[in-house]
Amino acid sequence: MIDIKEPLIPVVGVVTDIRIDTPDVKTFRVVTPDGKKAFEHMPGQCAMLSIPGVGEAMFSITSSPTNTEFMEFSIKKCGCVTQWLHSMEVGQQITIRGPYGHPFPVDTEFAGHDMLFIAGGIGLAPLRSVINYCRHYRDRYGKIDIVYGSRSMQDLVDYKEIIDEWSKDAGVNVHLTIDREQPEWDGHVGFVPNYVKELGFSTDKIAILCGPPIMIKFTLAGLLELGFDKTQVYTTMELRMKCGIGKCGRCNIGSKYVCKDGPVFRFDEIDELPDEY
Protein backbone atom coordinates (compact mmCIF):
# COMPACT_ATOMS: atom_id res chain seq x y z
CA MET A 1 0.00 0.00 0.00
CA ILE A 2 3.02 2.23 0.27
CA ASP A 3 3.93 3.81 -3.01
CA ILE A 4 7.41 5.05 -2.39
CA LYS A 5 10.09 4.50 -4.94
CA GLU A 6 12.95 5.31 -2.60
CA PRO A 7 11.65 4.37 0.82
CA LEU A 8 14.79 5.38 2.71
CA ILE A 9 15.51 8.66 0.96
CA PRO A 10 13.57 11.56 2.46
CA VAL A 11 12.54 14.88 0.98
CA VAL A 12 13.28 18.28 2.43
CA GLY A 13 10.59 19.84 4.57
CA VAL A 14 10.40 23.41 5.87
CA VAL A 15 9.05 24.18 9.29
CA THR A 16 6.67 27.08 8.70
CA ASP A 17 5.06 27.35 12.11
CA ILE A 18 5.85 26.24 15.65
CA ARG A 19 3.12 26.22 18.26
CA ILE A 20 3.92 25.76 21.92
CA ASP A 21 1.22 23.43 23.22
CA THR A 22 2.44 22.52 26.66
CA PRO A 23 5.71 22.93 28.56
CA ASP A 24 7.08 19.88 26.73
CA VAL A 25 4.96 19.56 23.59
CA LYS A 26 5.27 21.66 20.46
CA THR A 27 3.35 21.34 17.22
CA PHE A 28 5.34 21.81 14.03
CA ARG A 29 3.83 22.70 10.69
CA VAL A 30 5.78 21.26 7.74
CA VAL A 31 5.61 21.86 3.98
CA THR A 32 8.02 21.21 1.13
CA PRO A 33 10.28 24.10 0.01
CA ASP A 34 7.76 24.90 -2.76
CA GLY A 35 4.99 25.21 -0.20
CA LYS A 36 3.13 21.94 -0.75
CA LYS A 37 2.34 18.94 1.43
CA ALA A 38 5.20 16.45 1.32
CA PHE A 39 2.81 13.58 0.63
CA GLU A 40 -0.77 12.47 1.21
CA HIS A 41 -1.63 10.28 4.19
CA MET A 42 -4.56 8.78 6.08
CA PRO A 43 -5.33 9.25 9.81
CA GLY A 44 -3.09 7.11 12.00
CA GLN A 45 -0.18 6.95 9.58
CA CYS A 46 3.29 8.12 10.52
CA ALA A 47 6.27 9.87 9.03
CA MET A 48 9.99 9.77 9.64
CA LEU A 49 11.37 13.18 10.50
CA SER A 50 15.05 13.82 10.77
CA ILE A 51 17.73 16.35 11.38
CA PRO A 52 20.79 15.09 9.53
CA GLY A 53 23.58 14.52 12.00
CA VAL A 54 21.19 14.18 14.92
CA GLY A 55 18.98 11.34 13.87
CA GLU A 56 15.71 10.20 12.45
CA ALA A 57 12.59 9.24 14.36
CA MET A 58 9.01 8.18 13.67
CA PHE A 59 6.12 10.47 14.51
CA SER A 60 2.41 10.21 13.95
CA ILE A 61 1.00 12.80 11.62
CA THR A 62 -1.33 14.84 13.76
CA SER A 63 -2.99 16.90 11.07
CA SER A 64 -5.93 15.47 9.18
CA PRO A 65 -5.49 14.47 5.54
CA THR A 66 -8.37 16.85 4.86
CA ASN A 67 -5.96 19.67 5.50
CA THR A 68 -4.75 20.34 1.96
CA GLU A 69 -2.09 22.89 2.79
CA PHE A 70 0.33 21.42 5.29
CA MET A 71 1.09 18.62 7.73
CA GLU A 72 1.43 18.96 11.47
CA PHE A 73 3.30 16.99 14.08
CA SER A 74 2.75 17.37 17.83
CA ILE A 75 5.95 16.27 19.46
CA LYS A 76 6.88 15.75 23.06
CA LYS A 77 10.45 16.45 24.10
CA CYS A 78 11.96 13.21 25.35
CA GLY A 79 15.03 12.10 23.36
CA CYS A 80 17.88 13.38 21.14
CA VAL A 81 15.85 14.06 18.02
CA THR A 82 12.88 15.59 19.81
CA GLN A 83 15.15 17.85 21.84
CA TRP A 84 16.69 19.15 18.65
CA LEU A 85 13.26 19.63 17.06
CA HIS A 86 12.18 21.63 20.10
CA SER A 87 15.16 23.93 19.72
CA MET A 88 14.31 24.76 16.08
CA GLU A 89 13.16 28.11 14.78
CA VAL A 90 10.63 28.76 12.03
CA GLY A 91 12.24 28.42 8.61
CA GLN A 92 14.43 25.50 9.62
CA GLN A 93 14.58 22.69 7.10
CA ILE A 94 14.27 19.09 8.19
CA THR A 95 13.83 15.88 6.23
CA ILE A 96 10.62 13.93 5.98
CA ARG A 97 9.65 10.57 4.51
CA GLY A 98 6.51 8.50 4.59
CA PRO A 99 3.67 7.84 5.03
CA TYR A 100 4.16 4.62 6.95
CA GLY A 101 1.87 2.02 8.44
CA HIS A 102 -1.78 1.12 8.26
CA PRO A 103 -4.20 3.96 9.05
CA PHE A 104 -7.32 3.75 11.15
CA PRO A 105 -10.15 2.19 9.08
CA VAL A 106 -11.94 5.54 8.95
CA ASP A 107 -13.75 4.85 5.68
CA THR A 108 -14.67 1.23 6.39
CA GLU A 109 -15.03 -0.11 9.91
CA PHE A 110 -15.58 3.33 11.43
CA ALA A 111 -18.09 4.56 8.83
CA GLY A 112 -21.60 5.10 10.17
CA HIS A 113 -20.64 4.56 13.78
CA ASP A 114 -20.68 6.66 16.93
CA MET A 115 -17.09 7.37 17.89
CA LEU A 116 -15.47 7.48 21.32
CA PHE A 117 -11.95 8.90 21.46
CA ILE A 118 -10.00 8.44 24.68
CA ALA A 119 -6.58 10.02 25.05
CA GLY A 120 -4.06 10.77 27.74
CA GLY A 121 -1.28 13.36 27.49
CA ILE A 122 0.60 13.36 24.19
CA GLY A 123 -1.64 10.43 23.22
CA LEU A 124 -4.00 12.97 21.73
CA ALA A 125 -1.51 13.62 18.92
CA PRO A 126 -2.31 10.56 16.78
CA LEU A 127 -6.03 10.88 17.54
CA ARG A 128 -6.24 14.51 16.46
CA SER A 129 -5.85 13.41 12.85
CA VAL A 130 -8.81 11.00 13.15
CA ILE A 131 -10.93 13.42 15.12
CA ASN A 132 -10.51 16.16 12.55
CA TYR A 133 -11.13 13.69 9.74
CA CYS A 134 -14.40 12.64 11.37
CA ARG A 135 -15.35 16.28 11.96
CA HIS A 136 -14.62 17.09 8.31
CA TYR A 137 -16.80 14.24 7.06
CA ARG A 138 -19.30 14.81 9.86
CA ASP A 139 -22.25 13.17 8.13
CA ARG A 140 -20.39 9.87 7.77
CA TYR A 141 -20.18 9.31 11.51
CA GLY A 142 -22.64 9.34 14.40
CA LYS A 143 -22.16 11.03 17.74
CA ILE A 144 -18.57 11.82 18.69
CA ASP A 145 -17.34 11.70 22.30
CA ILE A 146 -13.85 12.79 23.22
CA VAL A 147 -12.42 12.00 26.66
CA TYR A 148 -9.07 13.65 27.14
CA GLY A 149 -6.94 13.98 30.24
CA SER A 150 -3.51 15.20 31.21
CA ARG A 151 -1.42 15.80 34.31
CA SER A 152 -2.49 19.42 34.48
CA MET A 153 -4.38 22.03 32.50
CA GLN A 154 -1.09 23.23 31.04
CA ASP A 155 -0.35 19.72 29.77
CA LEU A 156 -3.50 19.47 27.63
CA VAL A 157 -2.31 19.42 24.03
CA ASP A 158 -4.34 21.39 21.44
CA TYR A 159 -6.36 23.03 24.23
CA LYS A 160 -7.28 26.02 22.09
CA GLU A 161 -8.51 23.88 19.20
CA ILE A 162 -10.45 21.67 21.58
CA ILE A 163 -12.23 24.61 23.19
CA ASP A 164 -12.65 26.87 20.17
CA GLU A 165 -13.53 24.26 17.57
CA TRP A 166 -14.20 20.69 18.74
CA SER A 167 -16.46 21.49 21.65
CA LYS A 168 -18.51 23.88 19.52
CA ASP A 169 -19.33 21.26 16.86
CA ALA A 170 -22.81 19.82 16.82
CA GLY A 171 -22.86 16.22 17.98
CA VAL A 172 -19.37 16.42 19.46
CA ASN A 173 -19.02 16.09 23.22
CA VAL A 174 -15.68 16.87 24.79
CA HIS A 175 -14.92 15.59 28.32
CA LEU A 176 -11.70 16.99 29.72
CA THR A 177 -10.02 15.96 32.94
CA ILE A 178 -6.77 16.66 34.75
CA ASP A 179 -4.99 14.52 37.32
CA ARG A 180 -4.91 17.01 40.22
CA GLU A 181 -6.93 20.06 41.34
CA GLN A 182 -5.80 23.44 40.00
CA PRO A 183 -7.15 26.84 41.08
CA GLU A 184 -7.90 27.99 37.52
CA TRP A 185 -9.58 24.70 36.54
CA ASP A 186 -13.28 24.18 37.04
CA GLY A 187 -13.61 20.99 35.01
CA HIS A 188 -13.35 17.36 36.03
CA VAL A 189 -10.44 16.15 38.11
CA GLY A 190 -9.30 12.52 38.08
CA PHE A 191 -7.62 9.89 35.96
CA VAL A 192 -8.90 9.04 32.51
CA PRO A 193 -9.85 5.37 33.17
CA ASN A 194 -12.08 6.32 36.10
CA TYR A 195 -13.59 9.22 34.21
CA VAL A 196 -14.52 6.92 31.34
CA LYS A 197 -16.29 4.60 33.76
CA GLU A 198 -18.03 7.53 35.44
CA LEU A 199 -19.26 8.81 32.10
CA GLY A 200 -20.51 5.28 31.37
CA PHE A 201 -20.75 5.12 27.58
CA SER A 202 -23.18 2.89 25.72
CA THR A 203 -21.46 0.11 23.84
CA ASP A 204 -22.85 0.80 20.37
CA LYS A 205 -19.74 2.68 19.28
CA ILE A 206 -16.14 2.40 18.20
CA ALA A 207 -13.57 3.36 20.82
CA ILE A 208 -10.02 4.52 20.11
CA LEU A 209 -7.48 4.64 22.92
CA CYS A 210 -4.14 6.35 22.95
CA GLY A 211 -1.90 7.32 25.83
CA PRO A 212 0.62 5.94 28.28
CA PRO A 213 0.60 2.13 28.67
CA ILE A 214 -0.83 2.27 32.18
CA MET A 215 -3.74 4.42 31.04
CA ILE A 216 -4.41 2.08 28.11
CA LYS A 217 -4.40 -0.92 30.40
CA PHE A 218 -6.95 0.43 32.88
CA THR A 219 -9.11 2.19 30.32
CA LEU A 220 -9.41 -0.96 28.26
CA ALA A 221 -10.39 -2.89 31.39
CA GLY A 222 -12.99 -0.21 32.12
CA LEU A 223 -14.42 -0.38 28.61
CA LEU A 224 -14.68 -4.15 28.80
CA GLU A 225 -16.50 -3.72 32.11
CA LEU A 226 -18.94 -1.37 30.41
CA GLY A 227 -19.64 -4.15 27.94
CA PHE A 228 -17.42 -3.18 25.03
CA ASP A 229 -15.95 -5.98 22.96
CA LYS A 230 -12.25 -5.94 22.06
CA THR A 231 -13.22 -5.87 18.37
CA GLN A 232 -14.67 -2.38 18.95
CA VAL A 233 -11.58 -0.88 20.52
CA TYR A 234 -8.54 0.41 18.61
CA THR A 235 -5.20 1.81 19.60
CA THR A 236 -2.00 2.89 17.97
CA MET A 237 1.37 1.56 19.12
CA GLU A 238 4.90 2.78 19.20
CA LEU A 239 8.21 0.91 19.29
CA ARG A 240 11.68 1.84 18.21
CA MET A 241 11.85 2.16 14.43
CA LYS A 242 14.59 2.86 11.94
CA CYS A 243 13.37 2.00 8.45
CA GLY A 244 9.59 2.40 8.61
CA ILE A 245 9.06 -0.35 6.03
CA GLY A 246 9.33 -3.59 7.99
CA LYS A 247 12.92 -4.40 7.13
CA CYS A 248 15.29 -3.15 9.83
CA GLY A 249 13.87 -5.71 12.23
CA ARG A 250 13.37 -3.89 15.54
CA CYS A 251 9.70 -2.92 15.90
CA ASN A 252 8.18 -6.37 15.76
CA ILE A 253 5.79 -7.82 18.30
CA GLY A 254 5.88 -11.48 17.39
CA SER A 255 5.52 -11.69 13.63
CA LYS A 256 3.91 -8.25 13.27
CA TYR A 257 5.90 -5.11 12.57
CA VAL A 258 4.47 -2.00 14.17
CA CYS A 259 5.74 0.20 11.34
CA LYS A 260 4.22 -1.91 8.58
CA ASP A 261 1.39 -3.99 10.07
CA GLY A 262 0.51 -1.30 12.63
CA PRO A 263 0.76 1.20 14.16
CA VAL A 264 -3.04 0.89 14.37
CA PHE A 265 -4.21 -2.33 16.01
CA ARG A 266 -7.55 -3.54 17.24
CA PHE A 267 -7.42 -5.06 20.72
CA ASP A 268 -8.53 -8.49 19.54
CA GLU A 269 -5.50 -8.40 17.20
CA ILE A 270 -3.23 -7.38 20.05
CA ASP A 271 -4.48 -10.40 22.02
CA GLU A 272 -2.97 -12.57 19.32
CA LEU A 273 0.46 -10.99 19.79
CA PRO A 274 2.98 -12.09 22.40
CA ASP A 275 3.30 -9.83 25.41
CA GLU A 276 6.43 -7.97 24.41
CA TYR A 277 5.71 -4.28 23.90
Binding site for another protein (CB under 8 A): 2-12, 50, 52-56, 78-80, 82, 89, 91-95, 213, 238-240, 242-243, 245-255, 273-274, 276-277
Q: Which is nearer to another protein, 135 or 242 (CB)?
A: 242
Q: How many CB atoms lie within 10 A of CB 157?
A: 24
Q: Sign of the C-alpha dihedral, residues 163, 164, 166, 167?
A: positive
Q: Which is nearer to another protein, 27 or 252 (CB)?
A: 252
| Integer Cα distance of 240 and 243 in angstroms | 10
Q: Which is nearer to another protein, 112 or 274 (CB)?
A: 274
Least CB distance to another protein at residue 89 (A): 8
Least CB distance to another protein at residue 109 (A): 23
Contacts 24+ apart (CB under 8 A), 211-216: 211/118, 211/119, 211/120, 211/121, 211/123, 212/120, 212/121, 212/123, 215/120, 215/121, 215/123, 215/191
Least CB distance to another protein at residue 73 (A): 16
Helix (H, G, I), strand (E, B) or coil at 83: helix
Give Cα separations from 276 to 22, 64, 190, 232, 252 (angstroms). Answer: 31, 31, 29, 23, 9
Helix (H, G, I), strand (E, B) or coil at 216: helix
Least CB distance to another protein at residue 232 (A): 24
Q: Which is nearer to another protein, 5 or 181 (CB)?
A: 5
Least CB distance to another protein at residue 66 (A): 25
Q: Which is nearer to another protein, 33 or 227 (CB)?
A: 33
Q: How many CB atoms lie within 10 A of CB 34?
A: 6
Q: Which is nearer to another protein, 6 or 186 (CB)?
A: 6
109 alpha carbon, distance to own chain's centre: 18
Q: How many helices (H) and strands (E) does the chain have?
A: 6, 15
Least CB distance to another protein at residue 166 (A): 27
